[in-house]
Amino acid sequence: MDTTATGALHFPFAAPPGEGATAEIAPGLLWLRMPLPFALDHVNLWLLEDGDGWAAVDCGVEGRRTRAAWDAVLAGDGGGRPLTRVLATHFHPDHLGLADWLCRRDGAALWMSQAEWLLARMLFQDGTPEMAEAGARFYRACGLPPDALAAMAQRGNAYSRGVPAVPAVYTRMRHGDTVRIGGIDWTVLTGGGHSPEHVCLHDAARGILVAGDQVLPSISPNVSVWPSEPDADPLAEFLECLERLRALPADTLVLPSHGLPFRGLHARLDALAGHHAERLEETLAACAQAPASVMDLTRVLFRRALDTHQMGFAVGEALAHLNHLWRRGRLRRAAGTDGVLRFAAA
């Protein structure tokens, strides 16, 4: 969903690099773009000059086409120089999918925050019945109809298809750390909401923020509740992170994982916060009319046909808004005789 008028932002690069190619953002900083097999069809990645090689920020999803694009980039614009390290902003498959392959390719080290690495290590290996049962209980309680429940169950552990392996050893990035790459100091800024401990990297000297999925120029990052923590309030964490990012200069060049690099950080933070404020008002209005299940609210917030992949995100985001209001005492929650949770005005 578009959440900022394009006039509020400035886009210094008119078009992305082609597949297998790069564009220079600043000296020693290259932009590359990899394809994705989803409705959101691309992810932006970054190469940072690091001595005799390159540090990669994010990896792209597992797949032959992505591997071929990486080979073309490193042999071409990368000058045949190896990867020294792979820095992953978070655990999602489009960011971590090829981490193990890239690390093995050149003997590079993986750098991540602890929560993201632990979750990735767990998810790519977890095909246990308990995981499947937890997912089934979660989506039944959300009120999904039988056909949607069957489709969600059919997916199984989709994570392991996008992330077939995660290195067993990593270097931890903590909030406030300074990571020196090729003579440039990057400050680690972490935040929750979209993922548990998402890493952004800030180059204060040049005014550049590698934002990952935390700040996107034209869509709102997904903020979802998942079966492993059904009572979570990720929206509170996301909004807190937006407030912390306001400390950065307004003219910061933001390098997002989707869309084009842009300036206008504060305007974008305002728009994202405003978007969720509107969603919370829609949620309250829906629950004031009659007790609403998560699926009921999903139909209110997402008025379009959704495939199974999109349905998981939509249900998770609807529940994130319900839980946020429930935890603040503005909604009450109760399970019906059918086992479905419904939310009503407090």
Q: What is the pLDDT of residue 324?
A: 98
Query: Residue 2: its pLDDT value, please?
Result: 46
Per-residue pLDDT, 158: 87
DSSP β-bridge partners for residue 46: 31, 57
The ranges assigned to domains in the chain are 6-286
The stretch 83-103 carries a mean pLDDT of 98
Does 21 score more than 90 pLDDT? yes
Q: What is the pLDDT of residues 280-323, one digit of tens each?
A: 999 999 999 999 999 999 999 998 889 998 999 999 999 999 99
pLDDT digits 0-9 by tens, 214-223? 999 999 999 9
> Does the domain formed by 6-286 have CATH 3.60.15.10?
yes
pLDDT band at 16 (very low <50, low <70, confident <90, very high): very high
Is residue 3's pLDDT more than 60? no
Per-residue pLDDT at 176 exceeds 70: yes
**Amino acid at residue number 107:** G
How confident is the prediction for the chain on average, in pLDDT?
Answer: 95
DSSP H or E run through 274: helix 265-289
Strand 83-87 to strand 109-112: parallel, antiparallel, or no bridges (unpaired)? parallel
pLDDT at 304: 87
What is the rounded CA–CA span in Å between residue 132 and residue 337? 23
List phi, psi (to 5°) of 255: -105, 100
Q: How far apart are CA 27 and CA 248, in angstroms?
A: 21
The pLDDT tens digits of the residues spanning 101-124 come to: 999 999 999 999 999 999 999 999
Q: Which residues contact 278 (CB under 8 A, 6 or more apart)?
A: none
77 against 4, higher pLDDT: 77
Count of H-run helices and E-run strands, the chain: 11, 16
Residue 337 φ/ψ, nearest 5 degrees: -65, -20
CA 95 to mean position of chain CA atoms: 8
The per-residue pLDDT for 127 is: 85
pLDDT over threshold 90, residue 7 = no
pLDDT at 44 over 50: yes
